A and B are shown apart, each in its own frame.
Chain A
């Protein structure tokens, strides 16, 4: 395999998307686990949507809402000087949105699994809610949160449908590994497709193993 760009791009995009989906995902998970507020059901539905929608449909909505004809797209272009779509940034957004539901579901279960009396003890001791989250909830749920983020990473690394729609299949610019594999298949290039797939799997396995090792050691 002579072109390493897609792999390198995929790794960068996946890490960026993991940071975004991980941060936002844990935040949403906390709010959904703890909050009793109007619109909670709506938030839950929105956060689950990327799993439910076919990836191309998701990509289409992202394209029309972030593209050069959209308010967001125009604002971005005004600020940054180039369109948001068809850039690696767009690939990060597509991967983040696809990964988000996976992070939220896993993280929420972990947060809900924290013994309420541990949190109660922290409240009795006088700590405000945000400190209760920082001192108790999140550290105790850490294992599950890490698993959620790892799952999000795997999903982000492998995203195709949404990414190809909103970032495009532009070799050397936005062609991530999954897109490159698909492109190779379309071109009848079985050997590149196989190598690319193995590399993708390899990266995912290495990262997930590392994550498992780290969380096992923390205990």
Chain B
């Protein structure tokens, strides 16, 4: 298995510390555990938005952070895509513009085309010129997904992407994420509380207890019993 992301680090933010150690390959890896365990902090460190207090992070075999050698590749250069719980779209720009900002290169005309393509792919093409602030939660997350993918990332990070959405929307978006990850042959880390998420699309689960990771486990998509068994292991 090729390792898409590997982390062995201690990350501190304010009074809170988390020790995270795991590897993840292609496919969807869920980070699961109680609130405040440090899952989002781990994602932030992988993204480079936080610097680890100690340890290292590697993406696709490239060491992007290493405290012993004072390495810290800036977020901008890590070739990631990220989706937050609340889409974090720029409300003063259209959905098309928001996605376009993530397209890395080319003249503006081809960037707009590329952005349009991604919006269509997430079934939000009809929203391209809408007022961003008036989009529903689900629609905003679709746009956020398009933005995350438009830059051609090697790793996708999703931080509780569906927890603010209703059930039917969640189901639709789960399918979408699963299809996109498979189709683009990406690796994705998804922070979630939702067992239904894990059942729907996770290939692996990293279990968290407050302040640290416990271990990685393989699960099969669609197999709720795998998840149940896993919970037997969780504290």
Contact check, B90 vs A117: say whether CB atoms are below 8 A apart: no
Residues of B within 8 A of A128 (CB): 76
Residues of A within 8 A of B88 (CB): 115, 117-118, 120-121
Q: How many residues of B contact A (CB 8 A)?
A: 25
B80 at the A/B interface (Cβ < 8 Å)?
A: yes
A140 at the A/B interface (Cβ < 8 Å)?
A: yes
Main SS class of interface, A: helix
Contact check, A123 vs B90: say whether CB atoms are below 8 A apart: no
A126 at the A/B interface (Cβ < 8 Å)?
A: yes
Residues of A116-165 at the interface with B, using a CB-CB cut-off of 8 Å, are: 117-118, 120-128, 135-136, 139-140
Tell me the minimal C-beta distance from A127 to chain B in angstroms.
6
Question: Which residue of B has the minimal Cβ distance to A123?
Answer: B75
Tell me the minimal C-beta distance from B148 to chain A in angstroms.
8
Contact check, B82 vs A139: say whether CB atoms are below 8 A apart: no
Tell me the minimal C-beta distance from B48 to chain A in angstroms.
8
**In-complex Cβ contact of B90 among A120, A124, A126, A139 (8 A):** A139
Tell me the minimal C-beta distance from A139 to chain B in angstroms.
5
Tell me the minimal C-beta distance from A213 to chain B in angstroms.
18
**In-complex Cβ contact of B49 among A120, A127, A136 (8 A):** A120
B104 at the A/B interface (Cβ < 8 Å)?
A: yes
Contact check, B92 vs A139: say whether CB atoms are below 8 A apart: yes
B95 at the A/B interface (Cβ < 8 Å)?
A: no
Question: Which residue of A has the minimal Cβ distance to B78?
Answer: A124
Residues of A within 8 A of B47 (CB): 120, 124
Tell me the minimal C-beta distance from B156 to chain A in angstroms.
10
Interface string of A89-120 (1 = CB under 8 A from B): 00000000000000000000000000101101
Contact check, B102 vs A125: say whether CB atoms are below 8 A apart: yes
Residues of B122-146 at the interface with A, using a CB-CB cut-off of 8 Å, are: 144
With A and B bound together, what is the CA distance between A12 and B80 in angstroms?
Answer: 50
Residues of B within 8 A of A135 (CB): 90, 101
With A and B bound together, what is the CA distance between A121 and B84 in angstroms?
Answer: 9
Residues of A within 8 A of B151 (CB): 124-126
Residues of B within 8 A of A123 (CB): 48-49, 74-76
B147 at the A/B interface (Cβ < 8 Å)?
A: yes
**In-complex Cβ contact of A124 among B81, B86, B89, B92 (8 A):** B81
Chain A positions within 8 Å of B, measured between CB atoms, are: 115, 117-118, 120-128, 135-136, 139-140
Can you spell out 11 A-B residue pairs with CB atoms less than 8 angstroms apart?
A: A117-B84, A118-B88, A120-B84, A122-B101, A123-B74, A123-B76, A126-B102, A127-B76, A128-B76, A139-B92, A140-B90
Q: Which 5 A-B pairs have the closest CB atoms?
A: A125-B102, A123-B75, A117-B88, A124-B82, A121-B88
